[in-house]
Amino acid sequence: MRRTKQIDISRALALSGTFSFLCSCSKASLLPFLTLYFRHLGLSPAMTGVVMGTQHCITLVWSPLSALLCRHYNKRRVVISCSLVLSALIALLLLLVPPTDVSGSRFCNASNLRVEPNDSLAEELQVTRAGPQTWTTVHLKAPVSRTNTSVTRSKALPRQNATKETQAQPSAQNTPVLLSSVTNPTRNSSALHSSINSSAEPLRLRRSEFISSKPEEKKRVSLDFLTSLKEMDVQTQLFFLLLFIVSAWEFVAAPLEWVVDDGLFEYLDFADMSDRHSSRDLWGLLGGAFGVGVSGLLVSQLSCVLAAETPRSAAHFYTYAGLAGVALPAAVYHPLYLNRKRQRAGGLLKAVQLVQGSPRALLCALTVFLVGAAGSAVDNFLLWQMQDHGSSELHMGLSLSLALLSQAAFPLLAGWALKLLSPGRILVVGATSLGLQCFYYSFLWGAWAALPAQVLSCFSKGALWWAVRVHCGDLAVPGAERSVRRVYMSLALPLGSGVGSFAGGFVAQRCGLTWLFRGVAVGLMAWCTCLPLLQWRAPQQRRINYSRLLAADGSDATDSESEQERDWLDKAMEEDRSNNNSRRTSH
């Protein structure tokens, strides 16, 4: 970029806001519902936690590294475009993965139910035998599962025409029912008598024992590649397949946020307008609220199964890919700039050292880590909890949309809050509000029950991140606040989210979702009880003197200088004051 080139800040901010809105809208239309789709496929809570934790770990490591490589080779715009296209394509690959069972089908709206492999009821199975008129009709009212239950056979008397009907009543546990074997018609007169034993521990069915009719074979042909491997069960195969796809997806999607943020900041900093950089965050929250609300409303209006036996949750993936394609033209014209002289590669490392040297900064980082761990439990399993209490995608989308809007509204209350509380106390209030939200989620009772708690997001995430911004401004010199903020938001937060996802999945599997939310709430409350005392015991941050402020731009050249040499201005001012005082006394 030449200095003679005219820079239109309003146009740059408009393009940046549009791109941030579309990207956030695209992510919000799918990512909050991703764990719900994993549940539909048949993943357990522990497996879901491992998949999501791996995703956060990839973000933690690959985002800063990819941003550094893009800056070194000056390939930011290429990486942004490729990230949008490839992330949309890889996300669509998840639709090719078939479910292992139909445990998630019971949550679909019964009024929109169709007869499909994932949501069907086996209405009638009739076997006609040659010879005497001997036939058996079995009516099944429970959803058909791929697990095996015991079936006994009994020989029928010759010349006996009997009809046996066995009806399996659905239960709260959705007891699976399956005929393990249907014999071909023979000349010997016999009848099939099915006695279904409702065992609580289903056994796996070998596909060689199952002979289905031709329509059922076509519906289950997508499972052949999963069951072809005999070394692992189907659920384990599904887990590793999803882990591979999600890892590849995050590998191409993780660079987007850092690369766009770096390019825009350097563009605005070149024009001395870096203070306008924060407007991008507001557009991101508004885009997320719009995307999650509209996608939830759209999916809730669809039938349980779309064309070609596709579940309606696939609409989230199509919406994600479509919005990513819409954001591609904005990425082409997004304002980017590379300033090799001003931006230092070691800025993040210096920010880590700065946080490490301040006790209050360490307390803030530890709070962000715990909030990330608690937030991952909410993000991963809140929709599971809502689904268990009758919520549809409409309730989920509106609840999450209200949470994001509440978070975006906190800057309007920041001035009032700052008059009552210090930034350190606001940090405590934010973590406490998140703990109250988690405790409330453990007592959901209906479809709309989670909606009132979303208003607390204004004081949980909104207040917390505002307090972190203020803390970064007090801790670092002008120009370095952004690097310190990244230590909290891009290092401490993903690290906590990864640990929380791993631990939360195993706790949910072992103790249940209710006790997961209660445990998270108790942990946050305990930390918020100790945090004010620790803040009081920690030494106050020393204010930055004027000489260091002047030397901020040349800090690279003065890192090896002593503290006395950097405070030359203070010494000169003190000497000047002493000289003036001596002159006054002499007169």
User: What does the mean pLDDT of the chain come to?
Assistant: 77
Q: How many CA atoms lie within 13 A of 577 on its CB side?
A: 6
pLDDT at res. 473: 84
Question: Above pLDDT 70, what percent of the chain?
Answer: 67
Point out the least confidently predicted range of 201-215, 331-345, 455-469: 201-215
Question: How far apart are the C-alpha atoms of 561 and 73, rounded to whole Å?
Answer: 32
Using the predicted structure, report yes or no on whether residue 105 has a pLDDT greater than 70.
no
Average confidence (pLDDT) over 31-56? 96
CB atoms under 10 Å from CB of 575, counted, come to: 10
pLDDT at res. 537: 87
pLDDT at res. 241: 95
> Which is more confident, 578 or 76?
76
CATH number among 3.90.550.10, 1.10.287.890, 1.20.1250.20, 1.10.10.60, domain 1-101+232-343:
1.20.1250.20
- Burial class from Cβ neighbours inside 10 Å (0-12, 13-18, 19+) for residue 391 reads buried
Which among 431, 440, 435, 433 is positioned nearest to 385, based on CA atoms?
Answer: 440
Sequence-distant (6+) residues with CB within 8 A of 105 are 40, 118, 119, 143, 304
Three-state secondary-structure class, residue 536: helix
482-532: pLDDT as tens digits:
889 999 999 999 999 999 999 999 999 999 999 999 999 999 999 999 999
Question: How far apart are the C-alpha atoms of 461 and 472, rounded to whole Å?
Answer: 16
Using the predicted structure, report yes or no on whether residue 99 has a pLDDT greater than 50.
yes
Three-state secondary-structure class, residue 386: helix
pLDDT at res. 341: 58
Reported confidence tier of residue 452, pLDDT bands at 50, 70, 90: very high
353-385: pLDDT as tens digits:
889 988 999 999 999 999 999 999 999 999 999
In the chain, list all ranges with CATH 1.20.1250.20: 1-101+232-343, 351-543
pLDDT at res. 547: 42
Which stretches of 207-254 are DSSP H helices?
214-219, 224-227, 234-253
Question: How far apart are the C-alpha atoms of 211 and 371, rounded to whole Å?
Answer: 52
**115 in Cβ contact with 303 (< 8 Å):** no
The pTM score is 0.73
Question: How far apart are the C-alpha atoms of 79 and 56, rounded to whole Å?
Answer: 20
The three-state DSSP-derived secondary structure of 178-220 is CCCCCCCCCCCCCCCCCCCCCCCCCEECCHHHCCCCHHHHHHC
pLDDT at res. 342: 54
Gyration radius of the chain's alpha carbons: 30
- For the CA atoms of 105, 107, 108, 110, the dihedral, rounded to the nearest 10 degrees, stands at 100
Question: How far apart are the C-alpha atoms of 195 and 284, rounded to whole Å?
Answer: 58
CATH number among 1.20.1440.230, 1.20.1250.20, 3.40.50.720, 3.30.43.10, domain 351-543:
1.20.1250.20
Count of H helices and E strands in the chain? 21, 4
Question: How far apart are the C-alpha atoms of 15 and 153, rounded to whole Å?
Answer: 71
Question: Above pLDDT 90, what percent of the chain?
Answer: 51
Sequence-distant (6+) residues with CB within 8 A of 66 are 79, 254, 255, 258, 259
Question: How far apart are the C-alpha atoms of 327 and 201, rounded to whole Å?
Answer: 48
Using the predicted structure, report yes or no on whether residue 449 has a pLDDT greater than 90.
yes
